[in-house]
Amino acid sequence: MLKRLRGLLKLIFLIPLSCSHMGTVANASPEFSFNGNRFLFDRAQPKSVAFINSDKLYLVSALSFDGVAVWDDNGKITDHYVFSNPLSEATSVTVLHSDKTNNHHIALADESTNTILFLTFYLNTGKFIHNPMSIEVKHTPTHICIANDPFDNSPYLFSGGNHGILSQYRIDLQDNDNIQLKLVRDFLIGGETSSCIADNNSGLLYVVEPEVGLWHLNIDPETDLIRTLAAANQPIGQFDEPVAVSLVAHQNSHSAIIMDPETELFARISGALTESIAVALEYEDGGGEIRLLPLAGMGNLPTGRQNTDNPVKVVYASLETPPVPSTGDAADDPAIWPHPEDITKSLVLAADKKGGLMVLDLQGNQLDYIADGRLNNVDYRPGFQDHPALSHLVAATDRTHTSINLYAIDPVTLQVSRVNARKIPAEFFDPYGICMYRSMVSNNVYVIATNSSGLVHQWRLFPTAKAKVDAELVRRIELESVAEGCVADDETGDLYIGEEATAVWKFNAEPDQGSQKTAIARVEPDGELTADIEGVSIYHQADGKGYLVVSSQGSDSYAVYDREAPHLFRGMFRIRADINSGIDGVSETDGLDVISTPLPGYPEGLLVTQDGRNIEPVENQNFKFVSWTQIKAALNLPRTYQGWLFSNTV
């Protein structure tokens, strides 16, 4: 049954279409006739159809071994491309719309040669204007579709086939109209797929697996490789063997259509639309047709998610670090250390929670790796100035030994050395987050650590003999659930702790101030954040101004709030993939750090953030550097101060 159905229908495509002006075209190649709602081919076999809907309307069809043809809205063939390779077979066609020029690109899947062809199409004449670009792909393409990133509109091409893998490629449309494809990721669907279509409005891609039904998955390459069944075959659903899926847009409403040729059943996913669809069919004994059918009367199926306006702004990373040596979920939290005399020698300390601590320079190069166990979070503060060897301190949570690790940075050699006077027990299970606080009341330096049960402990640090540091536990706080990210504001005396599934809480950072707290940001539906709340950091400005930056891990984005009360929400941003630099986007962020001190290449400060999915190419997790200048511009933030606020008088 499946083999016969594959020969019957390859793709349907929807668009508002008027057929009243189309006429019969005779003696054209390929030979066809049109009778008002049907293109009939004597020899050519239409495999797939698409529309170019601009100032002019064109119908495009992949015609198997006969290449690809284009018709205008009068039914007149405007151009026909024939393969130079007699073995080439066009199995699917889709359109890449260009905003830069009056040209569009028609992408054609060539199953026989494992390639995608891009033909440049000139709208004004309806003609192809030069030879196609042929790009070899990883898996044999029997169907293709083009989608746009829901956040920055970057184009992607999806390619699937009888191998059960759906490949996602980033399309690099260069200024000279050349095109490059870069593999981003592979989805293992399982069985053979026959068609796909994108709903850029909701950020979903619909994929037909004929033996199962209709799947949808996220276009965004930074999301999980998860597929959701939108419509199933019998006996669970209503379809026998669906073969094709398509989409129609009307007044900001989108509907996906799937077709089951065995029962001649079309079903609309959502909406109440009346447009026509074009269906490409091939006959087993040769020839085929493109049929125009109305949509009226089709039933509804559930959507994967509702269409929503997206207020999230987009920024791009300036550089990325080498991947951490450990596989899986390993990279976690960074801390930025500004060199007190030569800012070009500043460092980034980055936690590998399966092995140790990475020491990086501002170019992202790894200078050292301290294999001290499962170090989860890390933070920095100026230390004890009357002990030169302890003037720059770093603290980290050590999950291997359930303790707090302390390090000193030598500003001359840039060496990072362990300075614990003894093992400092966390006194709770599974230490997660860590932050440091330097009191302007007492001049004491503190370490605050969180854990997976919601416990928060605070220690006072003090120097000992032989340039070592010890600590005494001075405070306990208890939250109701998992807490990790935290940051202390030395100037204001505030402590911010992220309870992952609930809120960012504000405490007084002084150890004698108890457990009274105020929520300054909450998880949906009461707030802007999507669980888990992870990294928390402060961008300092003068007079208590500045911003609190929070990782909203569940939405792969970052929320920005005023540093000063009442902590107004300033907006959200995402870090997306940059085609020009080849740096992928950021998703599933755990830890982050931000600094307002001007650094080389970052005149208004720097954000360093962990990337939970390092995908171009797929490697172990790493860290991304983002200029605050980009963030400020994206969210339209004012700026009044540059510099590190901490005094060196302890």
Rounded mean pLDDT of 486-507? 97
Asked whether residue 398 falls in the same domain as residue 419, the answer is: yes
How many other CB atoms sit within 10 Å of the CB of residue 193? 27
- 288 with 418, same domain: the answer is no
CA atoms of 626 and 317, how far apart (whole Å): 5
CA distance 12 to 49: 7
Q: Is the peptide bond before 598 cis (omega within 30 degrees of 0)?
A: no
80, pLDDT greater than 90: yes
Same domain? For 224 and 154 the reply is yes
Neighbours of 164 (CB within 10 A): 15
Do 338 and 457 belong to one domain? yes
In terms of Cα–Cα distance, which of 348, 341, 406, 338 is closest to 372?
406
pLDDT at 303: 39
Q: Return left, alpha or beta for 187; rule: phi > 0 is left, psi -120 to 50 is alpha, else beta.
A: beta
Claim: this prediction has a pTM higher than 0.85: no
Assigned domain for 118 exists: yes
- Whether 160 has a pLDDT exceeding 90, the answer reads yes
Nearest to 605 by CA among 650, 645, 564: 645
Is the domain of 335 the same as that of 288?
no
**Domain membership flag for residue 644:** no
pLDDT at 516: 96
Contacts of 617 (CB under 8 A, 6+ apart): none
Beta partners for 260?
265
Query: Which residues have CB under 8 Å from 558's CB, separation 6+?
Result: 549, 550, 551, 552, 572, 573, 574, 575, 589, 592, 609
**% residues pLDDT > 70 (the chain):** 81
For residues 447 and 436, the answer to whether their CB atoms sit within 8 Å is yes
The pLDDT of residue 98 is above 80: no
Taking the alpha carbons of 136, 137, 142, 143 in that order, is the dihedral positive or negative?
Answer: negative
266 and 295 belong to one structural domain? yes
> Do residues 18 and 78 both lie within one domain?
yes
Phi, psi of 3 (to 5 degrees): -60, -40
Q: How far apart are CA 296 and CA 316, in angstroms?
A: 44
| pLDDT the model gives residue 36 | 61
Nearest to 504 by CA among 451, 443, 548: 548
Q: Is 633 helix (H, G, I), strand (E, B) or coil?
A: helix
- The residues pairing with 506 across neighbouring beta strands, listed in sequence order, are 496, 518
Q: Is residue 645 part of a domain?
A: no
Residue 649 included in any domain: no
Domain end position, chosen among 247, 274, 300: 300
Average pLDDT for 115-142: 88
Numbers of helices and strands, H then E, in the chain: 2, 52
Q: Is 501 exposed, middle or buried (0-12, 13-18, 19+ CB in 10 A)?
A: middle
3-state secondary structure at position 11: strand
Question: What single letter denotes the amino acid at residue 79?
Answer: D
Out of 247, 273, 300, a domain closes at 300
Q: Phi and psi for 344 in degrees, rounded to 5?
A: -70, -20
Per-position DSSP letters for 109-133, written without gaps between them: EEGGGTEEEEEEEETTTTEE-SPPE
Residues in the chain: 650
In this structure, how many other beta carbons lie within 10 angstroms of the beta carbon of residue 3?
A: 7
**Do residues 14 and 48 both lie within one domain?**
yes
Find the Cα–Cα–Cα–Cα dihedral 638, 640, 642, 646, rounded to 10°: -110
Q: Is a pLDDT exceeding 50 seen at residue 631?
A: yes
pLDDT, tens only, 389-403:
999 999 999 999 999
pLDDT, tens only, 543-597: 899 999 999 999 899 999 999 999 999 999 999 988 788 899 999 999 999 999 9
Residue 14 has pLDDT above 70, yes or no: no
Residue 259 pLDDT exceeds 50: yes
Q: Is 301 exposed, middle or buried (0-12, 13-18, 19+ CB in 10 A)?
A: buried
**Looking at the domain assignment, is residue 648 inside a domain?**
no
Range of weakest confidence among 34-48, 130-144, 498-512? 34-48
In a domain, 369, yes or no: yes
- DSSP symbol at 467: G
Q: Final residue of a domain: which of 300, 333, 361?
A: 300
pLDDT at 16 exceeding the cut of 50: no
Other C-beta atoms lying within 10 Å of the C-beta of residue 55: 7
Do 282 and 406 belong together in one domain? no
642 within a domain of the structure (yes/no): no
Rounded distance between C-alpha atoms, residue 22 and residue 291, angstroms: 13
Judged against a pLDDT cut of 70, whether residue 318 lies above it is answered with: yes
For residue 643, the one-letter residue type is: G
Alpha carbon distance 526, 509 (integer Å): 26
Structure tokens at 163: 């191998």
**Terminal CA-to-CA distance of the chain, rounded, Å?**
80
Examine the domain organization and report whether 339 and 226 are in the same domain. Answer: no
User: Kind and range of the H or E element at 9?
Assistant: strand 9-15
Q: Which two tokens stand for residue 416?
A: 């990072």
DSSP state of 511: T
Q: 525 burial class (0-12, 13-18, 19+ CB within 10 angstroms)?
A: exposed
Higher pLDDT, 273 or 601: 601
pLDDT at residue 425 in the model: 96
Residue 135 buriedness (CB in 10 A; 0-12 / 13-18 / 19+):
middle
Is 640 part of a structural domain of the chain?
Answer: no
Q: Which domain holds residue 479?
A: 313-635
Q: Are residues 295 and 335 in the same domain?
A: no
Structurally, the chain folds into a number of domains equal to 2
482 or 288: which carries more pLDDT confidence?
Answer: 482
Nearest partner of 278 among 89, 109, 52, 83, judged by Cα: 52
Residue 247 in this model has a pLDDT that exceeds 60: no
Higher pLDDT, 19 or 226: 226
DSSP helix/strand/coil, 345: helix
The phi and psi torsions of 488 (rounded to 5 degrees) equal -110, 140
pLDDT at residue number 236: 80
Shortest CA distance to 222 belongs to which of 165, 145, 152? 152
Least confident of 204-208, 220-224, 259-263, 516-520: 259-263
Mode of pairing for the β-strands spanning 455-464 and 127-128: unpaired
At 52-68, the pLDDT tens digits run: 766 777 888 889 999 99
Token pair for 149: 């990133």
- The per-residue pLDDT for 74 is 74
In DSSP terms, 108 is beta-bridged to 93, 117
Beta strands in 131-226 (DSSP E): 133-136, 143-148, 155-160, 165-173, 179-188, 195-199, 204-209, 213-218
Least confident of 127-136, 297-306, 563-572, 614-623: 297-306
Q: How confident is the prediction for the chain on average, in pLDDT?
A: 84
Cα 270 vs. chain centroid, distance in angstroms? 26
Burial of 188 (0-12, 13-18, 19+ CB in 10 A): exposed
CATH of the domain at 419: 2.120.10.30
234 and 135 together in one domain: yes
- Predicted confidence (pLDDT) at residue 614 exceeds the cutoff of 80: yes
